[in-house]
Structure formats: structure tokens, C-alpha cells
Structure 1
Amino acid sequence: MVVAEEDLRARVEGRVGYITLTRGKVLNAVNRTIVDRMTEVLAAWAEDPTVALVMIDADSEKAFSAGGDLSAMYHFGKSGDYQSGNDFWRDEYRLNAMIDRFPKPYVPFMDGIVMGGGVGISAHGSHRIVTEHSVVAMPECAIGLIPDVGGSYLLRQAPGRLGEYLGLTGTRMNGADAVYAKFADHYVPRERLADLKARLIETGDVGEISRFEVAAPASDLEARLFDIARIFSGPTVEAIRDMLAEDEAEWALKAHEAISKASPISLLCTLWAVRGGRSLPEALRNEYRFVSRVLEHGDFVEGIRAVIIDKDRNPKWRYAALEAVPQCTLCQMTAEAEGGDPDFG
């Protein structure tokens, strides 16, 4: 099977089912075509005895994938076509779950920027590769969303309280941080990637990765683990924010600034999500509950406007402060999805 479209190329080379994202001009934003075609080829390759493993990369060194297709979501929200947005999220999350339980090795090359939806099609894989150029983050609170595509589950698995820290602040991880935070498994210098890919295509053996990887450098996150845990174990976002305000360390000042600028609704629901889903299906269910309402009742459309459409970086959130968000809003955003929760198991 060969799928050749302007958004991705999918083919079998040697022993490998090989996907390459080709939307470099928009940093390989994950759109409907990518979700549908990946779902199609993965289903076929799972049953194909000639395919020993799956490999996914991008044709741009700048970004593996910087996130989802925000322009499309803005259109859905502004036009009131909430169902199309919800249908996309449902199918995207099912793809994320499919990757997590894929019966063969799934090897993503997380080189360059990997954020949001890009995390969803990479970090659920079995043999995740980062480089010295990797930039991994879940910055959704800054645009009125929450860490989704199973991101809340990945954050929950991070050491200490790194999940709360990374999810609430959107702090960017380098390759070493991503390995430490359990978003990646192998650290391979960029200059070795081409040879590694060729070797995997030839052998179909993920054991070959060990011949190309090197020890990851020391992680800044590991060095700050105790201090992060001390603050981000707070019972509420308000408590975490207030403790950050009392800390003079540079990382704490940056974290406080990020939280102060983010959507209050998103922050409160992010803490709920990161501390919630104990399995990937449960996390995806919780995330879907939120996103299925966010276009109509949350800050996502305004967040996209401020960052992508008007680019004024000055969003006007529905509520000016964490304390102003009514409890009924949180209950609405986290209740069972209208019509019933989709099955992501």
C-alpha cells in the first residue's frame, strides 16, 4: 500500500511501514487527512506479515509536528459547527489509542518541534526517539485548551509533580528532558538518524536503535524535581500560583507568568485531567469531555484568535481570574459527554 498525498506519504520500505508528514509549511499540523490516512494504513500494517515495524517522521527538520490544525478548529468554532470539531477530536483520540496498543513496534522520530497533536501521534509509540534539536511541550492552556491527545495521561506518568508543572505552564522540554519525563525512550544525535532509518528498513529490528543512541545529557527537570514537587503538589491551581509567587527562582518566576497569562478555565480543568485518568482510555475520555464543549463554552476560539488569527497575543478570557470561574462551569466542562462518552478502550 502506498498513500501519497500532500499532507503525508505512507509506504512500505523493506520491513517497515513508513509514514512521513509533509505539511512542513504549517509545521506538520495534524489535520483530518493525517488522522484518517494514518488510521487506515496502521490498520492495514497491523495485519501485514511483511511489515515488522512502523516508523514515522517528517520531511522538515524544524518540526515533527507542532500541534493540531488550529485554523480548522477556529472555523468550526466561529461558524457554530461544533460537531465537526468534536468528530475530529473523537477520531484523533482513537488514533492515539490505536498507536498506544499497536501490536508491532512503533518508532516515531521526534526531531524538531513536537507539541500538542504531534505528541499524540508520537509519544504513545513503543520506541520514541528524540535528538538534540527536539522541543517537546503541551502548551494548550495558553490557547484555551487542555493537554489532550492522551497528553494528560503522559503527564501523569512523569516523575514527581512534573506532570502538573509541564501541563499548567506549557514549559518546553529538550530531548534530555523528554527522556527523563518519560515522553521519549532513546536519544539519537540528528546526524545519525538517516543511517538508523536505513538500518531499520533493512532489518525490521528495533534492537538496532541501541547501536545509534547515546546517553541523554543531564536533564534540567531532574535538577529541579524537588522544588517543582514542593510547589506543584499544591491542592489547587490557586495554591500552586500563590506558592510560585513567593519563590524567587527564575524557573518559578517563568512558571508564575505562564499561569497568570493562561486561560483560567483551562488551568482548572488541566489539573483535574492530569490528576484524573489512570489509564489512557480514561484520560482520553476525560479530555474528550472537555474538548467536546470547549468551542462553545470555553476559551479555545479566543485563544486561537489571539495567537493564530489576529496574532495580538492578548486573549480576552471568559473569566479574568481563577477565582472568578464558577463551580458550575467546571462541572459542565468535565461531565459525561453529551450523548455519552465515546469508547477509547
Structure 2
Amino acid sequence: MSGISIRKTGRAGRITLARPKALNALSYAMCLEIDAALKDWADDPEVALLVIDAEGDKAFCAGGDIAEMYETGQNGDYGYGRRFWRDEYRMNARLFEFPKPVVSLMQGYTMGGGVGVGCHGSHRVVGESSQMAMPECGIGLVPDVGGSLILARAPGRLGEYLGTTGARMGPADAILAGFADHFVPEAAWPALTVRLEETGDPSAVDEAATAPPEGRLAALAPAIDRHFAGETLGDILRSLRAEPGAFAEETLSTLARQCPLSMGCTVEMIHRLRGPAAEIRRALEQEYRFTFRAMEKGDFLEGIRAAIIDKDKSPRWSHERDALPQLAVTQMLMPLGEDRLTFGEEDRA
């Protein structure tokens, strides 16, 4: 059982994540199957659009399946993780650049790797239960799978805030931050899916969309823009400490649990991408610089140990939050030379 269902139904190419007991966590095999389907359907005249959804009511996809990545990394084998990330990112790029409409229906948790599957399409739908986040800084990674591009394009300084804190977004906040386009009540999703399959016309999504329940980020935006406008993580921390209050105290408490190296790199990555440089392949190539080094030179293995293996919630990060040298950030994001992420067919083996 691969944990995914890929088929053609009517005018639609259908991808359904089918590991509800694992919160539809994305495995390496699932990434490869999605990528193969995207290649097959790009020029298939029978496929007018894609519909991507997931089984269960708890999650669209709560992230990547990192158990094997941890096990191999602990044994000094960094190759498996690097292949996983390389091929996942290539799939993310293919999905972002897919030449036909892509409708994604994202209930419950959509986090990490789930963002890379659900948030690069043309018609990204959320419902009442939707909870989105990029929580990678909590496990020694950075927002990846193209998530850094969405953060760089978010209004104001929402990108720095969401990327470093891993804050969860309900439907309105996901739309505000650029992770979703439409709110459609989840009771209407089955009928909407049938219509998409029958007609191949994505305008059905626009017709079904309604206003989402009120979110929280719009009210916080002035404080976020004020405190997260600095050049470095240190600038952000100093700003928060200089203005005591509920927002600053809560945010500092959250940042205290995150990986300093990951947060510093996240801020730098978003700054490098913002503006004309905000392009999917550039984002993924930069993310891969970090993830390629994450096990050998970063804090990923320690982050997974503390959060998932031992569950002691007490990671021993390689740097103190207030003593992160900018050189460490620069070194994690240096070009990889021959190991760089590329997107040509010739090296997809």
C-alpha cells in the first residue's frame, strides 16, 4: 500500500493522499508517484485539471515522513535524506509549474511537506478545520518544499513571523498570508469535486467560495511588521524585548523553543527571495542548500530526537539564540557546487 491513490475521473486527474492514520504524511514513494503523474498528465488531452485531496478529517498532510530519514542519518548515511529532499523539491517545482489548473482541498493540518503538495496550485481551497503552518524551525530545518517562496511573497513581515514561529493559520489567515485562495465550507467539497470531475472547469471553485471566519493575523500585522523588519534574527529579538507587552512576550516564548540556526537562516532566505527574486526554482535551490547540510552540519537530527524519538522536548541546539554568528547562517546557505539542486530530466535518476 503506497498511501496514495492516483487515477483519472472524468475530466480530472485525481491525486488522493490515503494515509489518514499517519495524518497523510508524505513518504518518498508518494513524492515519486505524484511526480510521475504530473509528467503523464501535463500533455494528456483527457485531463483538463487536477484535483488533489486527502482521506480523513484530521489532516490534508501534516508533513513529511521523516522516520527513515532520521534512522539513516543517525547511522551517518546522509544520502537518503538528500535524495528525498532533492526529488521532493523537483516534484514541488513540477506542481508549481503545471500547465493546467490545480485544485487542492486542504482540511485539517496542512504543514511542511503538505504545503508543498497543496499550496502551489492555482485554486487552493481551505475549510472550517484547516490549520496551516511551516513548523520546521522547531525541528532544526527551515521552511522548505517551496514554502519559503510563499513566505517571501506574504504581506509585510508575515513571512518572517510565520517562518520563525511556526504559527498556525486558520482559513482566513492562510488566505491572507498567500497559502490559500478560497474558503469553501467542507460540506460542499464532495459536490464541488464531482462538478470538477464532470466539467473540468475550475470556475466551480470560485462559485462555491464564501467568506471565511475571521482570522487573527490581520489584527497582529502592525506589531508583526514593526518587530520583524530587522535584517537578522538578533534584530528581531532586540525589537521584541524593547517593547514589552502580550504580543512580544508570547512571541519571545515561542522563539525560545525554536532552533536558532534554523531561524537565522529562515530570515536570511526570505530576505534573499523577496521582490524580483521570488521564483520557485530559486526558492527550492536555496532551501536545498540548507537541507543538504541539515543532518551533517545542522541541528536536524537533534531536533527530531527531541521532538519525535525521545520526546523530551529539550533539544540541545548547536547555537544559543542570542549568540548566533551570521557566519553560521552564511555557511549553511552557501552554494553547493556540483551538489546543487537542478531540475533537468537528465539527473532525475
Q: Is the 8 A contact 1:93 1:344 kept in 2?
A: no
Question: What pairs up with 1:190-209 in 2 under 5 angstroms?
Answer: 190-209=186-205
Deviation at 1:201, TM superposition (A): 0.9
State the secondary structure of the residue aligned to 1:57: strand
Tell me, yes or no, if structure 1 residue 17 matches structure 2 residue 13: yes
Q: Superposed, which structure 2 residues align to 1:130-149 within 5 Å? A: 130-149=126-145
Q: Deviations over 1:232-273 (max 9, x none)?
A: 102221121122234444333222111111111111111111
For residue 335 of structure 2, what is the aligned residue in structure 1? 336
Give the distance between the partners of 1:247 and 1:65, measured in 2 at CA: 37
Q: How many aligned positions are there?
A: 340
SS in 1 for 2:69: helix
Asked if 2 retains the 8 angstrom alpha-carbon contact of 1:237 and 1:267, the reply is yes
Shift of 1:326: 3.8
TM-score where L is the length of structure 2:
0.94
Across the aligned residues of Structure 1 and Structure 2, the Cα RMSD in angstroms comes to 1.4
Determine which of 102, 106, 110 is the counterpart of 2:106.
Answer: 110
Q: Which residue of 1 aligns with 2:67?
A: 71
Q: Matches of residues 113-262 of structure 1 in structure 2 within 5 Å? A: 113-262=109-258
Partner SS state of residue 305, structure 1: helix
- Letter of the 2:297 partner, please give it: H
Are the equivalent residues in 2 in contact too, given 1:176–1:218 (CA < 8 A)? yes
Structure 1 regions of 5+ residues with no counterpart? Answer: none
Contact in 2 for aligned 1:46/1:103 (Cα 8 Å): yes
Question: What amino acid does structure 1 have at the position aligned with 2:336?
Answer: A
Q: Deviations over 1:43-83 (max 9, x none)?
A: 11111101111011111110000111121221121011111
**Counterparts of 1:156 and 1:328 in 2: how far apart (Å)?**
22
1:295-339 CA distances to partner (integer Å, 9 max, x unpaired)? 11111101111111111111111123341x344432321111152
Q: Any idea what the Cα deviations from partners look like across 1:1-21, whole Å, max 9, x if unmatched?
A: xxxx43100011111110111
Name 1:283's counterpart in structure 2: 283
The AA in structure 2 aligned to 1:229 is D
Q: Could you say if the C-alpha distance between residues 199 and 100 of structure 1 is closer, same or farther in structure 2, counting changes exceeding 3 Å?
A: same
Contact map agreement 1:265 1:322 (CA 8 A) in 2: no
Query: d(CA) in 1 for partners of 2:327 and 2:343?
Result: 26
CA–CA separation in structure 2 for the residues paired with 1:21 and 1:333: 33
Partner of 2:311: 311
Cα offset, 1:160, TM superposition: 0.5
Secondary structure at 1:133 match in 2: coil
Q: Return the match for 1:51 from 40, 47, 64.
A: 47
CA distance in 1, matches of 2:295, 2:2: 28
Q: Take 2:325 and 2:230, find their aligned partners in 1: how far apart are those partners?
A: 20
Letter in 1 for 2:111: M
Letter in 2 for 1:197: T
| Whole-angstrom CA distance in 2 between matches of 1:160 and 1:177 | 14
Preserved CA contact (<8 Å) 1:176 1:216: yes
Task: Name the SS for the 1:261 alignment partner.
Answer: coil
- Asked whether the equivalents of residues 2 and 29 of structure 2 are also in contact (C-alpha less than 8 Å), the reply is no
CA distance in 2, matches of 1:100, 1:10: 18
- Do the aligned partners of residues 220 and 327 (structure 1) sit closer, same or farther apart at CA in structure 2, a change above 3 Å counting? closer
| 1:15 and 1:200 in contact (8 A); partners too | yes
Runs of 4+ in 1 over 4 A off after TM superposition: none
Alpha-carbon deviation of 1:24? 1.4
For residues 260-292 of structure 1, what are the alpha-carbon distances to aligned partners after superposition, in whole Å with 9 as ceiling and x for unaligned? 111111111111111112211111111000100
CA distance in 2, matches of 1:256, 1:328: 23
Counterpart-to-counterpart distance in 2, 1:235 and 1:124: 27
Query: 2:76 corresponds to which residue?
Result: 80
Q: Residues 202-230 of structure 1: CA distance to partner in whole angstroms, max 9, x if unpaired? A: 11110111232101233321122111101
Letter of the 1:332 counterpart: Q
The partner residue of 2:97 within 98, 101, 106 is 101
Unaligned runs of 5+ in 2: 345-349
Aligned-partner SS, 1:296? coil
Where does residue 30 of structure 1 map in the other structure?
A: 26
Amino acid at match of 2:127: T
For 2:325 and 2:222, locate their aligned partners in 1 and report how far apart those are by CA, in whole Å: 33
Give the equivalent residue in structure 2 for 1:91.
87
Q: What is the identity percentage for the equivalent residue pairs of Structure 1 and Structure 2? A: 46
Could you say if the C-alpha distance between residues 203 and 249 of structure 1 is closer, same or farther in structure 2, counting changes exceeding 3 Å? farther
Q: TM-score, normalised by structure 1?
A: 0.95
